[in-house]
A and B are shown apart, each in its own frame.
Chain A
Amino acid sequence: MLVKICGIREPEMARKVAASGVDFIGLLFTSHSPRQIGIATAKEIIAAVKDYPTKVVGVFFDETPEKIAEIDKELNLDVIQLHGDLPRSGVSNFTHKPLIYVADGKPLPECLDVAKDFILYEKIEPEETGFRWFLAGGLDKDNVSGLIDKYAPTGVDLSSGVEISRGVKDFAKIREFLAVIRPTYYGAYGGMYVPELLIEPLKDLIDAVKTIMHSPEFQAEYLNLLKNFVGRPTALTEVKNFAKAIGLTSVHLKREDLTHTGAHKINNALGQCLLAKKMGKPRIIAETGAGQHGVATATACAMLGLECVVYMGQVDVERQAPNVAKMRLLGAKVVAVTDGSATLKDAVNEALRDWAASYETTHYCLGTALGPYPFPQICAEFQAVIGREAKAQYNEQVGSNPDMVIACVGGGSNAIGVFQEFIPDEKIKLVGIEAGGYGVKVGENAARFQSGKLGVLHGNRTYVLQTEDGQIADTHSVSAGLDYAAVGPQHADLYATGRAHYDVATDEEALIAFQLLTRTEGIIPALESSHALAYLMKVAKDLPKDCKVLVNLSGRGDKDLPGLLARELVHVTN
């Protein structure tokens, strides 16, 4: 479904709307409208959206064809919308441009071209013409679904339905509208890019989220397990020595390393396994990178009495050996995947292939906030407990909110877990840290926001590290949990709209942070989490000394030790 928003008047609104995946923005030049803008503003708006695929439409109600041509010459509009009789009379002058021709009940002009032009129906009954067409007129989030079902248009055109007062667009309303018509997306990112076979299983899962996962009984059982099995709430620890060592005064860690199994992954794995059990699926499959999600899933399965199969890249099997042993001890079958780069991406491929054959009896317990919808949503909801606890604890200990929240981003589950609660308060800076690996070239890192491009991997549209030919690129990170070519769609949206910032820490920087926290605080962090700490070390000198920082310590580092020692990346002396 294409979306067009008409009557945009400000560059920043235009940019945010474009970043949210709106396909067309309409600029009004007529003096009869409260939404009128001048040429100078139009230029600013065009500049603001130039990095997005969004098309700029000039909307004309009563201008002469000469005047329209003059404005277009100045602005080089992507599309021209001919609304009133006078503009429509000049349609044959504009055949070189994509047009939106507002139907007036008369036969359509011959010169329109189905390849590039659209028809717009407002106040008159749409007809089947073979053209792509927009439905317009008083659309809002409450009436749009019914109208789409009734008319099946190619796109919807809205204006007053997303305004707080006449002529004033409201970004929150626009987002609400988008959520209604693109329920599987976060702005421009997400979706369900899977083979047809998997659509029904995903729809069943969407139903299960509504009917089972959101039921009070389920939530009560889940919260009870979080408390008595996982050991929540986890601590919020002020790390004064570490802060001092890097020149700051206020750094707190949310201690997901203290959960049962030693990382945030258990929050999601346990929730999904419980959901699967209620859905009547006796078999669980999972992918794992660092092995933390695999261990968490194997643990939940052991406790809930479910069969468990974990796919893991051969490279990761080697660098995370202790976790492989744990999974097997817990009764899970670990399948080493040798295809492709033999890391997390290849493990996801195998899990998806398994699920395509086994969905009737099997739940795919996806370990991070990505994949086809509803997986990113399920994971984000189960991880939301991190941010809820952290915010309450932080306010209790410090008496305010933090200024900045930092988390590492693999697929994005621990980061979205801690961010969510703080998103509404725009004063709080949210920072996600990706793996900078050993270099900036594609293949040397897992920095999707630095070197990735828009693409589709594992069922969702997001930033993807890929070659010029659209093949998925190899990635590198010292930490298995960050070593993945795509990033969760909600992060892509937070990045595109500017609500969160993303940066990188290199392998080397992460290893230094790993050792610094260990020595100053007696906490051995996971290599993944060390990336978040490393970023803080790096930027500390540019922050106000009393900047109040919250870092999500997503997991503990025991799992990394054997590999690091074997490769002599850390040294222990007696």
Chain B
Amino acid sequence: MSRINTAFANKAKVAYLTAGDGGIAKSVENFVALVKGGVNLLEVGIPYSDPVADGPVIQAAMERALKEHNTTVDTSLEIVSKIRSQDNQVAIILFTYYNPIQTNLAEFIRKAKDAGADGVLVVDLPYEEAGELRHWCKVYGISPITVVAPSTTQKRIKTILAGLDNGFVYYACQKGTTGTRDGLPEDLATHLNSIREVTKLPIAVGFGVSNSQMVSDILKVADGCVVGSYLVKQIANNVTPAELTKITQGLYNVA
């Protein structure tokens, strides 16, 4: 079974951090601390100067990673391979914007695979522009992760998920950008049902998740739950890896 499928076999606990926030070593430590806290699928975000899908918390993390630590695509891949060398079980997906990887997409996917990543999500590369990405993912054996949004119509969900037989669907359940929110949208279950009608792939729900109640509510209806900004905020507050592990345990209700 693939690492992604293993993560989803018993509810995927997904966590995002921006790569290079705090430098390479610190960043690796933090990702590993998440895994100790029960996370079984890591989202490693490649920092980008103009992250239009992200809210202030992740924007700030990206700015720190770029300005204070000169993080690049290659550094981010190095972080992935360092996590991988410590942990061969956890699933890892790269989360990136298109511009930093577009000059040589095939090469990027190859390097991502070599580093030990299991999937790639390119946030500003919608289905219409994603033909090449999907091809190279197939060639190098890495899963292209497709996002479904609250605005995605049923017809479109069918089109964009057609033919995908590995990885998972990321349902970004809120409008707007990343960032913590107080509650879950009421139409969550309805949207998940529409997605399930057209695909057998597992579904992870993210965007705005900021407490353990939201996590458990999501895991009642979805196959996985993604927490991002809430954890990135902890890094901004300089928590230690041990504290991060604890916070993650609390979030995912794992002892």
Contacts and interface: CB of A to CB of B under 8 A. Distances in A.
Given A115-B139, A191-B129, 7 more contacts: A1-B131, A193-B129, A194-B126, A197-B152, A199-B151, A453-B103, A470-B101
Nearest to B160: A196
A485 to B, nearest CB: 9
A471 B50 CA distance: 8
A456 B102 contact: yes
B159 to A, nearest CB: 10
- Decide if the interface of chain A is mainly helix, strand, loop or mixed: mixed
Given A469-B72, A471-B49, A357 B177 contact: yes
Given A470-B102, A471-B49, A200 B152 contact: yes
B192 interface: no
B200 interface: no
Interface in A179-213: 184, 191-201
A193 B98 contact: yes
Contacts of B49: 340, 471-472
A352 interface: yes
Contact of A154 (B52, B131, B147): B131
A314 to B, nearest CB: 15
Interface string B133-176: 00100110000000111111100100010000000000010011
Interface residues of A, number: 42
Contact of B152 (A114, A199, A456): A199
B139 A195 contact: no
A458 to B, nearest CB: 7
Interface residues of B, number: 42
B99 interface: yes
A114 B59 CA distance: 39
Interface string A457-469: 1110000101001
Interface of A: 1-2, 114-115, 132, 154, 184, 191-201, 339-340, 345-346, 349, 352-353, 356-359, 453-459, 464, 466, 469-472
Interface of B: 48-53, 55, 59, 63, 66, 72-73, 98-103, 123-129, 131, 135, 138-139, 147-153, 156, 160, 172, 175-177
B149 A197 contact: yes
Contact of A352 (B52, B102, B103): B52
Given A193-B129, A456-B102, A200 B151 contact: yes
Contacts of A200: 149, 151-153, 156
B19 to A, nearest CB: 13
9 contacts: A154-B131, A194-B124, A200-B153, A352-B52, A456-B99, A458-B50, A464-B99, A471-B48, A471-B49
Contacts of A199: 126, 128, 149, 151-152, 156
Given A345-B50, A469-B72, A471-B48, A356 B99 contact: no
Nearest to B66: A471
A464 B100 CA distance: 12
A356 B175 contact: yes
A464 B97 CA distance: 15
Contacts of B101: 470
